């Protein structure tokens, strides 16, 4: 029997992604998590057993659970990110499972962009390799709050504490160069299930939690930004109902709160208009509320009739964002046509799409050394680097490190409409300023 | 002290509302696919949450295969009317008559014929986006689907060439003739759907609950006896206490023997279930049906 989540007890969602090289046992680890947490159904287990009879010499291959459809493998299709779901009585989990072999940077950025936690797998026999550094660097770049280094295949190094400590020391050599606050090292064997769901009898020297125990208990409540109110307007809500006078004049601004808290009666600034007004009502389908917070979806009614449309942003009067046409950013390039200075793209940021031109490629990150190369000619697919953009209209934004939702963007190629880059804005040089009691950009 | 904390359903809800509003904001002529099934029932509630007090700014579209459970169509029509929405129904039968959908010789199932019927409806109304209730946990292939799933001018999905989806920034840009399918429930599981139905006190068609029905055993499934699916000469008709777990056409939807008569019962049943939701669909693989057989044999 799978654990039955008590329906009335609030449980939250932890999103995590897994990354590792081809032979690190990533698929086996996910399979083991699902299998040992009793998240698999009989038909799935039976399908596994059947494939074991055919290919596995009788041993169940847990990797078959995640390694796509047989037809897909036959056609040689590389599907980038697959999402999987399981639950325990403590939490619901969303796994972004990213294959490590082809297009790994692009895949990992995609899978990790919404993650609370990232699992980097290391083979205990080989220790830290370039891929381990690369994955850790991307997790740091994306500001994933929690990192787990899963040191796998411990059974193949005789459950040696010495080896575990060596690998941890290898990580600790380069971790200080990356800004990651919470790192957990766990020795395990995905194949045999040691320290995945059940504690291992082979690691008496390890006193920490199992992997699942850690996933269930890691503190994620504060991962959202609750300072500095931001509401990117998605949709103007105008019922225009001629028969209902209450609705006839209703004009609300709908969106998902991207940062902070908003209260009825509080002053907000509408950007780019730069006009201050007051929150009259916070409208929701379930009735009006006195306050709302990130990442809730709400509809705000304001005191004054201001020109606000999709792409505008309502902000609080503290923790002000920047507003500029000059945009410094780190980007991960995802397309085979390289990024070069002078090229133009569409940039989508919050609910706002503008044209931008690349004015400069400042540097490129060398993943092997984690050093930067200055002024490269271009950024090719899977490259990460710092660039400068000039936008046709000012963008209201925060640094990505401050706010993931108002500090991120994608670039879209004109013509094909392909999504070609994931971008993280660097902190604005100056913030919007109050002037004569009003706020202007 | 206020707790600024969302539980899992509230998280899934705000994510889905955000996606629906992105559709309203970025597309000229969106539609919402509404069948009357449990997933699209949740979609409609999410649309209310996204757009009220305004009208839901898109029509509801359903492709009627002609093999629907009558209870489903009755519910579909009633619910659309309650919400004051415009319901567009396009029938496979009509598409066959017009030569838009051409059945293979001897083809009884309307499953494949839905596709040309849907594409014709998209063309007829020039829809640039259709919101659907599909979920990633339904099957392996769906685990790789995007929230915003791009279709070329032939309505085709190219899994090799999907747009990467990063943070909550969805790329909805299209050239003429291209189309988007959007799946706000991508991250929901079967359990989440029923918990949401319970929390929101949503009505669902009666066939989801335990009832008596005549059925025949075929291909390892209990299939409902109807005008379209009469018993064969050698088949024994049994009256069983059943419900449907997932609704397909009346000729291919396996009935599950179940006493579950409330949403709470269904949630308890799913929590204890040992086969996946798709395990009860005859349009799925024979191996899964065979599994069901063994389970039944073991159970009795």
Q: What mean pLDDT comes out for the span B63-68?
A: 95
B19 and B94: one domain? yes
* DSSP-derived secondary structure for B127-160: -SEEE----TTS-TGGGG--SEEEE-TT----GG
Give the pLDDT band (50/70/90) at residue B289: very low
Two structure tokens written together for B285: 């693989």
- B18 and B166 belong to one structural domain: yes
| Closest C-alpha among B4, B18, B3, B6 to residue B185 | B18
Measured between alpha carbons, how far is B221 from B229 in angstroms, rounded to an integer? 13
Extract the tokens encoding A91: 């939490």
β-strands A419-425, B148-151 pairing:
unpaired
Residues 126-185 of chain A whose Cβ lies under 8 A from any Cβ of chain B: none
Q: Give the number of domains in chain B.
A: 2
Domain presence at residue B136: yes
Q: Do A322-431 and A230-315 have the same topology in CATH? A: yes
**What is the rounded distance in angstroms from the CA atom of residue A60 to the CA atom of residue A53?**
8
Same domain? B193 vs B219: no
- B247/B134 same-domain check: no
The share of chain A scoring above pLDDT 90, in percent, equals: 63
**What does the DSSP 8-state code read for residue A30?**
H
A331-345, A423-437, B92-106: which range is least confident on average? A423-437
CATH class (in words) of the domain with range A230-315 = mainly beta
Give dist(CA A71, CA A82) in Å, integer.
Answer: 16
Indicate if B44 and B161 belong to the same structural domain: yes
The domain boundary residue, chosen from B199, B224, B255: B199
* Subunit contact A256:B14, Cβ cutoff 8 A: yes
Determine the Cα–Cα distance for residues B8 and A426; give it in Å rounded to an integer.
31
CA within 13 Å, CB half, A269: 24
- Report cis status (omega within 30 of 0) of the bond before A272: yes
Chain B residues touching residue A110 (CB < 8 angstroms): 164-166
Task: Name the more confident of A382 and A328.
Answer: A328
**Structural domain includes residue B1:** no
Please enumerate in sequence order all residues whose Cβ is within 8 A of that of A111, keeping only pairs 6 or more positions apart, or say none. A17, A19, A81, A96, A97, A98
Complex ipTM: 0.92
CATH number at residue B175: 3.40.50.620
Look at residue B236 in the predicted model and tell me its pLDDT: 93
pLDDT at residue number B137: 86
Both tokens assigned to A134: 């690369």
Q: Are B36 and B161 members of one domain?
A: yes
Q: How many CB atoms lie within 10 A of CB B183?
A: 24
What is the separation of C-alpha B272 from the centre of its chain, rounded to a whole number of angstroms?
22
Provide the shortest C-alpha distance from residue A275 to chain B (in Å). Answer: 23
Q: Which of B199, B233, B257 is the last residue of a domain?
A: B199
My answer on whether B192 and B252 are in the same domain is no
What is the end-to-end Cα distance of chain B in Å, rounded? 54
Confidence grade of residue A6 (pLDDT, cut at 50, 70, 90): very low
pLDDT of residue A249: 85
Tell me the chain A residues in contact with residue B11 when contact means C-beta distances shorter than 8 Å: 12-13, 295
What distance in Å separates the CA atoms of residue A61 and residue A51, rounded to the nearest whole number? 8
The domain spans of chain A are 12-223, 230-315, 322-431
Asked if B202 reaches chain A (Cβ–Cβ under 8 Å), the answer is no
Closest B-chain CA to A93: B8
Same domain, B183 and B138: yes
Among the residue ranges B4-8, B206-210, B285-289, the one predicted with the least confidence is: B285-289
- Please give the average per-residue pLDDT across A125-151, as a whole number: 92
Residue B287 has pLDDT above 70, yes or no: no
CB contact under 8 A, A69 and B171: no
A140 band by pLDDT with thresholds 50, 70 and 90: very high
pLDDT digits (tens, 9 = 90+) for A371-425: 899 999 999 998 999 999 999 999 999 999 999 999 999 999 999 999 999 999 9
Cβ neighbours of residue A326 under 8 Å, at least 6 residues apart?
A: A388, A389, A390, A391
What's the pLDDT at A247?
A: 81
Nearest CA in chain B to A13: B8
Say if A39 is an interface residue toward chain B (CB within 8 Å). no
- What percentage of chain A exceeds 70 in pLDDT? 87
CATH superfamily of A12-223: P-loop containing nucleotide triphosphate hydrolases (3.40.50.300)
Judged by a CB distance cut-off of 8 A, whether residue B54 touches chain A is: yes
Question: Which pLDDT belongs to residue B242?
Answer: 96
Range list of H helices, A70-178: 70-75, 104-112, 130-141, 161-174
The answer to whether residue A102 neighbours chain B at the CB level (below 8 Å) is no
pLDDT at position B257, please? 94
Q: What is the mean pLDDT of residues B263-283?
A: 77
Rounded-to-integer distance, Cα A290 and Cα A280, Å:
10
Angle CA B269–B272–B278, to nearest 5: 75
* Fold of the domain built from segment(s) A322-431: Elongation Factor Tu (Ef-tu); domain 3 (2.40.30)
B183 with B264, same domain?
no
d(CA A379, CA A400): 21
Q: Indicate whether B204 belongs to any domain.
A: no
Burial class (CB in 10 A: 0-12, 13-18, 19+), A276: middle
Q: Is B8 within 8 Å of chain A by CB?
A: yes
The predicted structure's pLDDT at residue A119: 95
Cβ of A82 within 8 Å of Cβ of B174? The answer is no
Q: Tell me which residue range forms the domain holding B239.
A: 209-299
B225 domain residue, yes or no = yes
Same domain, B26 and B170: yes
What mean pLDDT is reported for chain B?
Answer: 89
pLDDT digit string (tens) for A247-273?
Answer: 888 999 999 999 999 999 999 999 988
Same-domain status, B29 and B112: yes
Looking at beta carbons, which residues of chain A come within 8 Å of B48? 285
Determine what percent of chain B is predicted with pLDDT higher than 70. 91
- Evaluate if residue B52 carries a pLDDT over 70: yes
A425, A327 contact by CB (below 8 A) = yes
Same domain? B193 vs B58: yes
């Amino acid at each position: 029997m799978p654990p039955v989540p008590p329906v009335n007890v609030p449980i939250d969602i932890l999103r995590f992604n897994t990354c590792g090289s081809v032979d690190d046992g990533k698929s086996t680890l996910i399979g083991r998590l699902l299998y040992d947490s009793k998240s698999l159904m009989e038909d799935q287990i039976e399908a596994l057993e059947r494939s074991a009879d055919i290919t596995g010499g009788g041993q169940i291959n847990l990797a078959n659970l995640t390694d796509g459809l047989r037809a897909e493998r036959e056609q040689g299709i590389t599907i980038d990110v697959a999402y999987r779901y399981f639950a325990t009585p403590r939490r619901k989990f969303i796994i972004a499972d990213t294959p490590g072999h082809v297009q790994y940077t692009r895949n990992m950025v995609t899978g990790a962009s919404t993650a609370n936690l990232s699992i980097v797998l290391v083979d205990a026999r080989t220790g830290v390799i370039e891929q381990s550094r690369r994955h850790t660097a991307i997790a740091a770049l994306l500001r994933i709050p929690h990192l787990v280094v899963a040191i796998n295949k411990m059974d193949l190094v005789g459950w040696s504490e010495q080896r575990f400590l060596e690998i941890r020391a290898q990580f600790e050599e380069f971790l200080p160069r990356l800004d990651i606050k919470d790192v957990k090292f766990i020795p395990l064997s995905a194949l045999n299930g040691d320290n995945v769901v059940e504690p291992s009898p082979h690691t008496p020297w390890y006193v920490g939690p199992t992997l699942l125990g850690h996933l269930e208990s890691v503190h994620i409540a504060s991962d959202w930004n609750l300072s500095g109110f931001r509401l990117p307007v998605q949709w103007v809500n105008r019922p225009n109902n001629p028969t209902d006078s209450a609705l006839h004049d209703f004009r609300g601004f709908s969106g998902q709160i991207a940062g902070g808290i908003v209260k009825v009666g509080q002053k907000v600034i509408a950007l780019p208009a730069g006009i201050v007004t007051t929150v009259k009502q916070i409208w929701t389908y379930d009735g009006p509320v006195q306050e709302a917070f990130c990442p809730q979806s709400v509809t705000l009614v304001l005191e004054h009739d201001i020109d606000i449309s999709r792409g505008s942003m309502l902000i609080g009067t503290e923790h002000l964002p920047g507003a500029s046409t000059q945009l410094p950013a780190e980007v991960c390039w995802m397309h085979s046509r390289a990024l070069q200075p002078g090229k133009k793209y569409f940039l989508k940021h919050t609910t706002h799409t503008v044209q931008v031109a690349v004015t400069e490629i400042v540097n490129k990150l060398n993943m092997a050394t984690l050093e930067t190369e200055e002024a490269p000619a271009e950024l090719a697919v899977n490259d990460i680097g710092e660039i400068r953009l000039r936008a046709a209209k000012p963008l209201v934004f925060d640094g990505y490190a401050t706010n993931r939702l108002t500090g991120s963007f994608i670039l879209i190629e004109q013509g094909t409409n392909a999504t070609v880059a994931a971008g993280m804005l660097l902190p604005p040089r100056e913030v919007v300023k109050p002037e004569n009691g009003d706020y202007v950009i | 002290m206020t707790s600024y904390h969302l539980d899992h359903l509230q998280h899934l809800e705000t994510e889905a509302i955000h996606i629906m509003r992105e559709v309203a904001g970025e597309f000229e002529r969106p539609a919402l696919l509404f069948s009357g099934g449990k997933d699209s029932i949740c979609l409609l509630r999410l649309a209310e949450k996204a757009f009220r007090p305004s009208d839901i700014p898109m029509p509801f579209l359903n492709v009627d295969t002609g093999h629907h459970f009558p209870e489903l169509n009755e519910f579909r029509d009633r619910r659309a009317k309650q919400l004051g929405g415009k319901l567009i129904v396009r029938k496979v039968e009509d598409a066959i008559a017009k030569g838009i959908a051409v059945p293979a010789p001897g083809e009884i199932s309307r499953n494949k014929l839905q596709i040309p019927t849907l594409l014709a409806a998209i063309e007829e109304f020039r829809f640039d986006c259709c919101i659907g209730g599909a979920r990633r946990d339904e099957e392996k292939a769906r685990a790789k689907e995007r929230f915003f799933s791009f279709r070329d001018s032939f309505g085709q999905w190219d899994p090799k060439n999907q747009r990467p989806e990063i943070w909550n920034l969805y790329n909805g840009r299209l050239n003429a003739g291209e189309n988007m399918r959007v799946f706000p429930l991508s991250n929901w599981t079967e359990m989440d759907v029923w918990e949401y139905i319970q929390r929101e006190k949503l009505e669902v068609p009666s066939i989801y609950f335990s009832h008596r029905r005549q059925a025949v055993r075929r291909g390892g499934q209990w299939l409902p006896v109807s005008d379209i699916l009469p018993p064969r000469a050698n088949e024994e008709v049994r009256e069983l206490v059943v419900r449907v777990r997932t609704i397909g056409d009346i000729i291919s939807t396996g009935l599950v023997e179940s006493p579950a008569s409330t949403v709470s019962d269904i949630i308890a049943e799913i929590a204890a279930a040992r086969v996946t939701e798709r395990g009860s669909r005859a349009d799925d693989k024979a191996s899964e049906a065979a599994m069901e057989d063994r389970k039944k044999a073991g159970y009795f």
